[in-house]
Every structure is written in structure tokens, then in C-alpha cells.
Structure 1
Amino acid sequence: MKSFINFLKGIAISVSTLVPGVSGGTMAIILGVYDNLIHAIGSFFENWKKHSILLIEIGLGGLVGLLLFSRIVEKALNTYPIQMGFFFIGVVAGGVPVLYKRATSGEKKKSDFLFLIIGLIIALLMSLEPEATSAMATAGGSKGFIFLIIAGIIIAVALILPGISGSFMLLILGLYDVTLNAINTFNVPFLIPLGIGVIIGTIATTKTIETLLKKYPGKTYMLILGFVLGSVLPIYPGMPNGFQAIWSILSLAIGFALIFWMGKKEF
């Protein structure tokens, strides 16, 4: 039963990574598996059998989630961009209480709030209009291959660090639509170098992030909370009109209630 629950959590985490502005790391925190995942990756060889089981269970769920929901998310974003945007804002907002509780659960210092402001500013700066890089990524050849590996490394940091959305990072790099299409069309030449970069980035940064969360939990989670709050701006779809406003408010409320409820539950 526990294995199946971890499988379902993997699906939930992977679906959240498909959404710009929604962090898979934050979802892992809400579902209560983030610390175990970080430890399993960062200290894999200390107990490789135990860690392998956890990573396989959640990894398989993640793979299934990507394959099943990438096309659905792509279609929903294209068909109902306003409503989906407000739903995503609700999802982000629903995770704020969980992160704030973690940021203030230990010794409280006023200086920790400085890191919230820093995280907010960084997220807002990152949301500025990026240069189009999809042409370089899809050009093929050695330059495109290397570029995708570097992009994968950058995305890995976003995937591991709660509060920074991997899809949001893809948007910044100008690769979100291209990557979503590559998943839906099984564009292997595109996905392989991107996946290699993600693996390299995950192995290289996990231990560092685990150490920061252990030594400076308040400051680290405040920084993450700043990232989360700052991620609302790039996913804001604009002001809805008429009945669209009603559906948008309802979508926001559903997104908030869903994640807030999951954060309250002990899975």
C-alpha cells in the first residue's frame, strides 16, 4: 500500500512540474516526501537498496504522470488560458501556509525575512521577458546538444529546490512549449540531452540543498517562500470579463482548497 501511495505522489509531483509557476519540490513538501527524496539522492550509497525502492516508486509515478497529463495540460492551457492561470495561482497560494509554517517552525529571527524579500526579488527579475532560445535548442548538432544539457542542469536546480518551478524555468529559457511538445510527440533527440542535464544537475546540487535545509532551515525556507510569492506574477493571465470572471474565481478557489487540504493531511 505504501508503495502505491508513493507512486501516486510521484504522479502528483510530475503533474505539478508541468505547470508554469508551480513547483514540484513544493508539492513534494506538501505530500511529505521531500526530505526523504533529497536524502535518498544525496546519500544514495549509504543505503542504496532502501533509497532505490523509494526513488523507483516515485520515479515511476513521475514518468506515468508526465506521459498521461502532459497532453491534457497543454490542451487545457491552450483552450482555457484565463481559467487555468487562476487555477495555478490558487495552487501556488495554497502551498504558502505550508512553507510559512516550515520557515517559522524553529528559531525565529527577524533577519530571516530578509531572505523572503531576496527570493521575491529574484523571482520577479527572472520573470522578465526572456530572449527566445528555442531556435538554438531545436537546431540540432553539437551546439544544440550542449545547450540542452546546460538547460537540463539549470532545470534540475529548479526541480530540486522547492518554490522554483521547473516549468517556470523552462519558460525563462524559452523552452516550455518546445519541451511540452517534445514529451507529447516523443521527440527523443530533444529529450535525451535535456534528461542528461537534469540527471547531472540533480546529482551535483542535491547534497548542497540538503545541507542548507539542515543548517539554515528558516533562511532557506524563507528564500523558497519568496520564490513562490514571486512566481505568481508570470502566471497571472490578465483580468477576466463577464462569466469568465466567475469561472476564474472558482478555479482559483478550487486550486487553493486542493493544495491547502493536501498540506493539512498526513499522507
Structure 2
Amino acid sequence: MRLIQARLLDTVRGGAIGVAEIIPGVSGGTVALLVGIYETLISSAAVIVRAFFSVFQPSSRPENWLALRQLPWWRLLVIAAGMLVAIVAAAAFIEPLIERFPELTRAFFAGLIVASLAVPIRMVGRPFGFSRLTVVLTVGAAVFLVLGLAPLNQVDPQPWVVVASAALAVCALVLPGVSGSFLLLSLGLYQPTLAAVNDRDFGYLGLFIAGAIAGLASFVVVLQWLLRRARALTLTVMTGLLLGSLRALWPWQTDERVLLAPATEQLLPALLWAGLGVAIVVGLMALQRLPASASQPTV
């Protein structure tokens, strides 16, 4: 019974990450942090990447293949299945919701991110002194400025553009505070990618998956190294990324990302939806304390 409960929880965790990957401004890495599987995913991905490249390094092959066999494969497959189902479902339902109620949905997502700031801060495990606060504000300001850039528009993107954009966007899966969907939106690939999911355009999706795998293989080992060697600083930078990402989720803005003053009649509903977002994150933090279906792999 406990194993079934754990599998169901992991399916929900994977589904939450999948939904986040569809929503511009919300990071799948952030949700992975919230539901307590971030380091499991990072360490597992690093093992897979090293095992793949050990094909070209025979001396390290036995050690890496042993680590590969020791991964919690059932747990990873359940999480991946939850993500896949959620991505397909969210692509069909969330986009119309964003188009119909843009201010309220952005307010809700902003509430999620505001409460999420507590996650990397808590993981640092030390008081935030002046130096860490400076890093947070500097990174946050840089992200704020970047997210203010007007989005591109690509109706029929070239294959290399799809591959390169996917490689960049997949960083959001392993880097909390960075939204893969928002990066695609900035690059003009959000609508084409969403349409490809809904239309089952497997040619486009194949290119996208290839780019995502290449980007993941290039980035995940570096990030894990940073978490090992400079954990506190890396998590501090993640906090800044989360803070700056709120720029994309200000409820009142134009399609060119020009910030507007709050609409009086929408202020109270927006605050209520933001509060709901905060409450959901608090619930996810409680979920994080529940037992996992398998111990995290040692890498």
C-alpha cells in the first residue's frame, strides 16, 4: 500500500512539473524543488549522461554502467509518465485559459513564484547576509531586464532553430526560476511548439526532443558540479532567478511586455488568485515532507 501511495505521489509530482513546462513564466525546475524531487532528477540525469559518454571512455565504463543500473528506474519512469500526460493535457486546456483570463492567471502564477522563493532559501540552510542578498538582487535585476525584451515571432521556424531553442529551453527543467515556455515565447517558438503538441506533428516534435536531449546532456553535469562545489552560491543565484522571473508574471502588461498600472476592478480578484497560488505552494511544501518512493541516488 505504501509503495502504491508513493507511486501515485510521484505521478502527481511529474504531472505538476509537466503542467509548469507549458505555462510561460513558471519553471518546471521550481516545481521539482517544491515537490522534493529536484536533486533526484538532477543526479539521475547526470548518471545517464556520464554513462552515455563512457562509451567513448572504456576506463570509466564499468563504474558508470554500475551507477546506471542502480538508478530508481521505476520512480523515474512514473515521474516521466506523469509529465508526459500533463504536458499533452495542459497544452489543450491551459492555453485557452491564459488567453481568456490573462490577468488572473498571471496573478495566480505570480503567487506560486512568490511562495517558491522560500524553497532555495531554505535549502541554503544559512542566514541571508548582505553578500547573498546582493547576489539575489543583482541576478533578479538582470533577469527582470531580460524578461522585458519584446518577444520574437516565427511562423515557420527552420529545423536548426527548433533544435537550438529546445536545447536552451530544456535548461528550465533543471534550473529553477527559468521558464522554458517563456524562453520559447521570447524566441517565437511557443505557439508553434504548442500547435505541434496539439496536432501531433511528430516531425517537429522529433527535432524538439533531439535539441532538448542535447541541451540536457550539456547542462545537467555542469549544474550538478555547481551544486556539489558551490551549493550555497548556486541556490542563492536560483533565488535571484525566481525573484526576477516575477517580471513576466505581472498581471497587467501588453503583448510587448510593457508593464501597466493595476486595473482597479481586477485588483481584488488578482490578489485572491495570487493568494491561492501561495496556498498551493504551501501545500506542495507539505507534500515534500511525505516519504519518497525510493531513496535518492548517490552520485
TM-score (structure 1 length as normaliser): 0.90
* 2:275 maps to 1:253: yes
1:1-267 to 2 correspondences below 5 Å: 1=4, 2-44=6-48, 45=51, 46=64, 47-49=67-69, 50-103=71-124, 105-106=125-126, 110-130=130-150, 132-135=152-155, 138-139=156-157, 144-238=158-252, 239-242=262-265, 244-265=266-287, 266-267=289-290
Secondary structure of 1:129 counterpart: coil
Identity %: 25
Task: Output one character per residue of 1:236-256: Cα deviation in whole Å (capped at 9) or x when no partner.
Answer: 1212332x3332221111011
1:54 deviates by 3.0
Task: Output one character per residue of 1:6-65: Cα deviation in whole Å (capped at 9) or x when no partner.
Answer: 121110111112122111111111111010111111013443232433321111110000
Number of matched pairs: 259
1:201 deviates by 0.6
Task: Output one character per residue of 1:177-223: Cα deviation in whole Å (capped at 9) or x when no partner.
Answer: 22222222222222221111111111111111011112111111111
Secondary structure of 1:134 counterpart: coil
For 1:4, the aligned partner's letter is L
Between stretches 61-70 and 231-240, larger displacement belongs to 231-240
Within 2, Cα distance between the matches of 1:131 and 1:228?
20
Within 2, Cα distance between the matches of 1:68 and 1:52?
24
* Residues 118, 223 of structure 1: 8 Å contact kept: no
Secondary structure of 1:48 counterpart: helix
For 2:141, the aligned partner's letter is I
Report the counterpart of residue 296 of structure 2 in structure 1: none
For 1:126, the aligned partner's letter is V
Within 2, Cα distance between the matches of 1:83 and 1:13?
21
1:102 deviates by 1.6
For 2:225, the aligned partner's letter is T
Unaligned runs of 5+ residues in structure 2 are: 52-63, 253-261, 291-299
Within 2, Cα distance between the matches of 1:118 and 1:196?
34
TM-score (structure 2 length as normaliser): 0.81
Within 1, Cα distance between the matches of 2:127 and 2:247?
31
* Residues 151, 185 of structure 2: 8 Å contact kept: no
Unaligned runs of 5+ residues in structure 1 are: none
Task: Output one character per residue of 1:132-171: Cα deviation in whole Å (capped at 9) or x when no partner.
Answer: 2413xx24xxxx1111111011111222111111112112
* Residues 144, 247 of structure 2: 8 Å contact kept: yes
* Residues 148, 247 of structure 2: 8 Å contact kept: no
Supply the RMSD in Å over aligned alpha carbons.
1.8
Within 2, Cα distance between the matches of 1:3 and 1:166?
26
Within 1, Cα distance between the matches of 2:154 and 2:202?
16
Structure with max Cα Rg: 2
Secondary structure of 1:43 counterpart: helix
Secondary structure of 2:149 counterpart: coil
